[in-house]
Amino acid sequence: MPSSILTLEVSARSSQKAESGSVRVKVLGPLERAKDAVRALGLYWGIALFCVLFPLLHFILVPFFLLLGIFLSVRAGLARERMVDGSVLCPECKKPFSVKPALVRWPMNEVCQECRWSFVLIPDSTRD
């Protein structure tokens, strides 16, 4: 199944205010999810292997990166969507906010870089 990119309308909500915007989301196929999981596992296990060179720290760093690699590879393998890009207005200061690429987990918590106010991104419509 090839991946597809969807454009979603979202609401940015803070305490009592809301603004709308849109984001582009890439729906990941099973092969892409598997590649992401293997890439994450290889990266963190490679870091763990490199940490063997540090005499005292390797007792902590090697197990940490081995476990972190497993955790993040499972998380990458289970992710069905990835945020490509998007923009919304900050509900507090009304300035444009650019959504960064990330794995999608609705609702998404964001912090405005202008006013440092946190808000939540929620998709406007439900979908399958």
103 DSSP β-pair partners: 82
- The torsion angle over the Cα atoms of residues 25, 31, 32 and 38, rounded to 10 degrees, is 150
Assess contact for 24 and 6: CB atoms under 8 A: yes
- Residue 48, pLDDT > 70, answer yes
Assess contact for 97 and 12: CB atoms under 8 A: yes
- Residue 127, pLDDT > 70, answer no
3-state SS assignment for residue 27: strand
Q: What's the predicted TM-score (pTM) here?
A: 0.74
- Residue 73, pLDDT > 50, answer yes
Give CA–CA dist 124/8, Å, rounded: 8
